[in-house]
Amino acid sequence: MALPMKRYTKLQRDLNTLYPVVDRVPYEQRKALGLSVNQGSPLQSLGAPCPGVHAKWTGEFREPRKGEWYLSGAYVEAYCAPNDLSTRFHIAVLVKTKTEMVEVTTEV
């Protein structure tokens, strides 16, 4: 069962929209963002993105260089370029986020 989350089927023109990160965040980037060891790794068995980190669109549309993050997919998600890519994508940067669990109780 996948965890519920807001997913976009097209890129939002708002530079503050957060997109899920589905590739593992490299150690150097996790350290720079101040993430713990467990944060920055997708929960693949649950079909969930990396907890504690999201991607923001920079407004750039160009070929990503090795190690840069870009947005792509039918559901827009962030991926890390494994090498210099020749296809143009929307470039993204990673941001640390905090998720709070809220319990809602209703009376029947």
Predicted pLDDT at 2: 45
Higher pLDDT, 73 or 36: 73
CA–CA separation, 20 vs 7, rounded Å? 8
CB atoms inside a 10 Å sphere around CB 24? 14
CA–CA separation, 44 vs 102, rounded Å? 23
CA angle 15, 56, 96 (to 5 degrees): 130
Let me know if residue 102 belongs to a domain: no
Let me know if residue 47 belongs to a domain: yes
Predicted pLDDT at 27: 85
Instruction: Count how many domains the chain has.
Output: 1
Higher pLDDT, 3 or 21: 21
Let me know if residue 8 belongs to a domain: no
CA–CA separation, 99 vs 1, rounded Å? 19
Let me know if residue 60 belongs to a domain: yes
Let me know if residue 68 belongs to a domain: yes
Q: pLDDT of 33-56, one tens digit each?
A: 888 776 767 776 566 777 788 999
Let me know if residue 50 belongs to a domain: yes
Let me know if residue 7 belongs to a domain: no
Domain that holds residue 35: 18-96
Let me know if residue 87 belongs to a domain: yes
